[in-house]
Structure 1
Amino acid sequence: MAFSEADIPDLTGKIAIVTAKGGNSGIGKQTVAVLAAKGAKVYLGARSHDKYIEAVADIHASYPSTKASHIEFLEIDLASAAGAKSSAKRFKSKEKHLHLLYNNAGVMGTPQGMLSSDGYEYARVPYTQPHSEPAANMSILKQWAVNVFGTFVFTYHLLPVILSTVEISPPGSVRIVNTSSDGARQAPKSGIPLDDKTVGSSAGRFERYGISKIGVILLTRQFAQRYPAVLSFAPHPGPVQSNLTRELGIPWPIMWILNRVVFKPVQYGALTQLFAGTASQLGEKHNGSYLVPPAKLETRLPHLQCYNDDVGAKVWEWNVAAMKAAGAD
């Protein structure tokens, strides 16, 4: 039987985060709406309070029952390592527990050479171990900075509260959901160029997007292996009507056609990650899995490197080293 929103259990007493850029639009906003409608207290990640207010108004209009729910604002910008750490710290000052973390932030197709916004892209650390540490004076491209590195820093600093929640929760109920994509298959055959100080500046914009999504899948598998009491998943939402394509410069008449012929409603895209975060049939044996719409497990990963947990360990080490280099450890 197909999974639907009706299959999501009552989430009263649960605390969730859904990160921006998705928290205030697209499948992120839809995820917030459904979690809140099911009784969860949800922290909606957004860059500004105005975007939060706008999103909540939309959510209340679509799901009137959420007017009685708690949807809180969490200021966040994952393009900044310091910002990601600060956001985690801000959350921990408010809450002692976290049951569901939806790392839904993402950018796609950013122009070549577009860097993260706050100057972190120049990470200064000795480059002594190729393939595992960032080079001195590195320029981290924005897709990698937001989709992989910022997400890692944010999650890393939330781990203490996540793990403390595990201790008081039923097995398998505390979860990390990292929005992934089959766009990983657009990466070069060689995969993530960790020995390149720019992490792929010579690649095309879609190749760079693919590189970042391999990183998401590999880190999800690492979280599952390193913290097995927490279920971690990497769902692919499918082609969805959202603002993820904003960097591509597609003329609006073409987007109008695509939104009616190719891209599906946000409810379709959010369903798979809602399944990942709430379905009781997902357990320890599924930890680290990749999922595809409509709400199902998928054993075929979108790029050969996604199976390589040795590379995954190096991606983990790279992120830890870059985090320290940014002073965000």
Structure 2
Amino acid sequence: MWWLSCFLLPVVRLYLAGLKVLLYQLLNRSFALPVLPRQDGRVAIVTGGARGMGLETSRHLAGLGMHVVIAGNEEDEGLAAVKKIQQETDQGKVEFMYLDLASLKSVRQFVQRFKSKGLPLHVLINNAGVMLVPERKTEDGFELHFGLNYLGHFLLTNLLLDTLRKSGKSGQCSRIVTISSATHYGGRLDLNNLQGRSCYCAHGAYSQSKLALVLFTYHLQDRLCAQGDPVTANAVDPGMVDTDLYENLCSPAQLAKRPVAKLLFRTPAEGASTAIYAATAAELEGAGGLYLYNGRKTESSVTSYDEQLQGRLWMQSCALVGLQKA
């Protein structure tokens, strides 16, 4: 029974979630972006913005006139992305800044460097992530999925909140967009075992990190509303997108994925569309605490609406990254 709950059930839940998404994508067209308002004078940070959906997001925001900061841990890749976007558009500005979300020290250094530029911040897109990696720890000793996908973004967002607050205003809020996944529906959050110490399953660890991001988004939005801050926080589900994120699938799953991906997976541009919409659409002005899928507001998992769990996760996360709980 222990093996069943620790290893088999997380795998089954993740692949069932994937099958449901594929069925939806078979029967429904990908969300097509409407005409979006110009973003001249606005500044965005996109984590993981040098590849896949992050690159498409960076490219589109720059094309709308934004100053885009691509945050990533591969400098050559980041600089190549900057050059590519600069060749395609002269509408906005794009630059690369080093950020390793698997290192709390690196997150703090990134925020210090960004703030030293004296720039405002109107959009933060928490996009970077890893999926189904073998058991590994971050620099600070956290399980990699939880540490990079969730805790790194938790700290980054909190350290940038003051800049987001100052940059937003009534009728033109700053926006936080966090990329989750349909796998969060099968995620289980054990606050007594966030590190996966009792057993490790990559499928369960990934799903847990994506559930944590939704819980975080909802609690953050409640805190922002309570303080009257001109900042909104929303979660986005991009669907199943043909990117390098699936490179850690087991060999049989890789073989099955290739033909299916060509037929049913979204392209990176299609996968990025809802995040771009959440970051810029006029009709979402002032709207927070949403879970957006394929351009529409959708119900997330029952667990994600548990306010007690949201609060407990927030408090524990503050302790783990060394933030004051208030």
What TM-score bracket applies, with the shorter chain setting the length? 0.7 to 0.9
CA RMSD of aligned residues (A): 2.2
Question: Share of identical aligned residues, percent?
Answer: 28
Q: Per-residue CA shift, 1:199-253, capped at 9, x if unaligned? A: 4652522111111111000100111011123110000000111111122244765
The one-letter code matched in structure 2 to 1:238 is G
1:12 aligns with 2:14: no
As a proportion of its length, which structure holds more helix? 2
Q: Contact (CA 8 Å) 1:49, 1:75: kept in 2 or not?
A: yes
Q: Per-residue CA shift, 1:49-77, capped at 9, x if unaligned? A: 2111221244356xx2x245310111101
Which residue number in structure 1 is paired with residue 181 of structure 2?
A: 181
Paired positions, count: 291
Q: Contact (CA 8 Å) 1:3, 1:275: kept in 2 or not?
A: no
Residues 62-211 of structure 1 mapped to structure 2, 5 A cutoff = 64=88, 66-111=89-134, 113-116=135-138, 118=139, 120-121=140-141, 140-166=142-168, 169-187=169-187, 191-196=188-193, 198-199=195-196, 202-211=199-208
Which residue number in structure 2 is paired with residue 132 of structure 1?
A: none
Q: Per-residue CA shift, 1:161-196, capped at 9, x if unaligned? A: 111112xx3424310000011111232xxx211112
State the secondary structure of the residue aligned to 2:120: coil
Provide closer, same or farther for how the CA distance between residues 225 and 249 of structure 1 changes in structure 2, counting only shifts above 3 A: same
Aligned pair partner of 2:221 in 221, 224, 235:
224
State the secondary structure of the residue aligned to 2:322: helix
Q: Per-residue CA shift, 1:63-104, capped at 9, x if unaligned? A: x2x245310111101011111111111111113310000010
Q: Contact (CA 8 Å) 2:82, 2:96: kept in 1 or not?
A: no
Q: Contact (CA 8 Å) 2:64, 2:91: kept in 1 or not?
A: no
Shift in Å, 1:5: 3.8
Which residue number in structure 2 is paired with residue 41 of structure 1?
A: 67
Shift in Å, 1:36: 0.1
1:59 aligns with 2:85: yes
Q: Contact (CA 8 Å) 1:141, 1:201: kept in 2 or not?
A: no
Shift in Å, 1:277: 0.9
Work out the CA distance in 1 between the residues paired with 2:197 and 2:185: 15
Q: Contact (CA 8 Å) 1:192, 1:199: kept in 2 or not?
A: no
Q: Contact (CA 8 Å) 2:129, 2:149: kept in 1 or not?
A: yes
Which residue number in structure 2 is paired with residue 135 of structure 1?
A: none
Work out the CA distance in 2 between the residues paired with 1:247 and 1:93: 37
Q: Which runs of 5+ in 1 are unaligned?
A: 122-139
Work out the CA distance in 2 between the residues paired with 1:15 and 1:36: 9
Which residue number in structure 2 is paired with residue 28 of structure 1?
A: 54
State the secondary structure of the residue aligned to 1:73: strand
Work out the CA distance in 1 between the residues paired with 2:280 and 2:31: 11
Query: Structure 1 segments of 4 or more deviating over 4 A?
Result: 249-255
Q: TM-score, normalised by structure 1?
A: 0.82
Q: TM-score, normalised by structure 2?
A: 0.83
Work out the CA distance in 2 between the residues paired with 1:181 and 1:206: 13
1:275 aligns with 2:286: no
The one-letter code matched in structure 1 to 2:211 is I
Which residue number in structure 2 is paired with residue 324 of structure 1?
A: 322
Provide closer, same or farther for how the CA distance between residues 68 and 18 of structure 1 changes in structure 2, counting only shifts above 3 A: same
State the secondary structure of the residue aligned to 2:277: helix
Shift in Å, 1:158: 0.6
Report the more deviating stretch, 40-49 or 250-259.
Answer: 250-259
Q: Which runs of 5+ in 2 are unaligned?
A: 1-29
Work out the CA distance in 1 between the residues paired with 2:86 and 2:256: 31
Which residue number in structure 1 is paired with residue 211 of structure 2?
A: 214
Work out the CA distance in 1 between the residues paired with 2:245 and 2:310: 26
